[in-house]
Amino acid sequence: MDYLPEIEKEIQRQIARLDEPHTTQLHEMLTYHLGWSGENADPKTRGKRLRPLFLLLTCSACDGDWRSALPAAAAVELVHNFSLIHDDIQDNSDKRRGRDTVWAKWGIPQAINAGDALFILSSQALFDLVPGYSHEIVARAAIILNDACLNLTRGQFLDIYYEKRKDLSIEDYWSMVSGKTAALLSACCALGSLLGNSDQATQDAYCSFGHYLGLAYQVHDDFLGIWGDSAVTGKSSQSDLVSGKYSLPIIYGLGKNGSFAKRWAEGPIHPDEVPGLADQLATEGARLFTQETADQMTDLAMQSLRIANPKGQAGEQLIEMARNLVNRES
């Protein structure tokens, strides 16, 4: 089943609420960010729409009618993009997928509005689930999405808050990534199973699946950020060692208080030092620890998925997508 064209159409339909004479530019900011308009707009600049795909596949794997769930699929993608627009302002990032970010193009004040608008549109989208679902189910969907959004903002807060701290523990790391990466993916799977009319135990299993998959994804991402091909060879400037990001292997290495921690304390790391320092970190056990943690989270995700018992072709696609997410090489 090719869900993507239907997802794209539904997001466009939701965004169209702002396609009015007075707010043409606000609408344009959103269509630009979503990869539909402006310079270099093409499918590659749109992102993979992973979250709506997880939602719809989960719905189908519960024998639900995925077409009725499309407004929720649009809602999760809108939430994701609200957070990206505000994130780019907060991180002072002027490029995303090779294009100028919204704030770089229209300024910070209007970029804040564009993010706010996307978030409101996501809330509105959910109510289009009526009349396909009862008001009670829609309310439960809204509660799931709101909880995820609050966790997302919590994670975003912690990410910035941690920048000034030097004594981060692995527990601090889990608090941050549970919000920043896992909360929305978990909500996608919870929403998909809710809208697939599955029972509470199945919903809980899908919710855990999304949560652990989100954690596994992030830990694997942290692994690639230091030992991935592009982080070591050629693009050392993109290594997490250079950006100074508190990723899992770095927090682990700092906790060891060895040569790596000593070098880290001395100040910013130059790209030339990256291969040597990545090796040092591996010698101190961070590579093995990160790999094992990613595997552990993947196992927990897959255990939850087995309990959820996804059905049919959608179930197979869901398993395959989850595997790709935690086995990717870049």
Site for a copy of itself, rule CB under 8 A:
17-18, 22-23, 25-26, 86, 89-91, 108-110, 112-113, 115-117, 119-121, 123-124, 127, 130, 134-136, 138-139, 142-143, 146-147, 149-150, 153-154, 156-158, 160-161, 172, 175
Q: Between 160 and 201, whose beta carbon lies closer to a copy of itself?
A: 160
Q: Between 86 and 96, whose beta carbon lies closer to a copy of itself?
A: 86
Task: Find, among 321, 283, 257, 323, the residue nearest to 60 by Cα.
Answer: 321
Closest CB 269 distance from a copy of itself, rounded Å: 23
Closest CB 157 distance from a copy of itself, rounded Å: 5
CA distance 246 to 71: 36
DSSP type of residue 69: G
Q: Between 114 and 318, whose beta carbon lies closer to a copy of itself?
A: 114
Task: Find, among 86, 57, 88, 87, the residue nearest to 73 by Cα.
Answer: 57
Q: Between 149 and 250, whose beta carbon lies closer to a copy of itself?
A: 149
CA distance 151 to 180: 7
Closest CB 150 distance from a copy of itself, rounded Å: 5
- Tokens, residue 79: 């939430």
Contacting residues for 307 by C-beta, under 8 A, at least 6 apart: 201, 202, 205
Q: Between 127 and 303, whose beta carbon lies closer to a copy of itself?
A: 127
* Environment class of 155 (CB within 10 Å of its CB; exposed 0-12, middle 13-18, buried 19+): buried
Task: Find, among 214, 185, 189, the residue nearest to 204 by Cα.
Answer: 189
Closest CB 128 distance from a copy of itself, rounded Å: 10
Phi, psi angles (nearest 5°) of residue 167? -120, 40
**In this structure, how many other beta carbons lie within 10 angstroms of the beta carbon of residue 313?**
11
Q: Between 124 and 230, whose beta carbon lies closer to a copy of itself?
A: 124
**In this structure, how many other beta carbons lie within 10 angstroms of the beta carbon of residue 87?**
18
Closest CB 223 distance from a copy of itself, rounded Å: 24
Task: Find, among 186, 228, 218, the residue nearest to 204 by Cα.
Answer: 186
Closest CB 143 distance from a copy of itself, rounded Å: 5
Closest CB 161 distance from a copy of itself, rounded Å: 6
Q: Between 68 and 156, whose beta carbon lies closer to a copy of itself?
A: 156
Closest CB 26 distance from a copy of itself, rounded Å: 5
CA distance 55 to 11: 14
Q: Between 154 and 256, whose beta carbon lies closer to a copy of itself?
A: 154
Closest CB 170 distance from a copy of itself, rounded Å: 14
Q: Between 15 and 219, whose beta carbon lies closer to a copy of itself?
A: 15
* Environment class of 183 (CB within 10 Å of its CB; exposed 0-12, middle 13-18, buried 19+): buried
Task: Find, among 60, 124, 114, the residue nearest to 89 by Cα.
Answer: 114
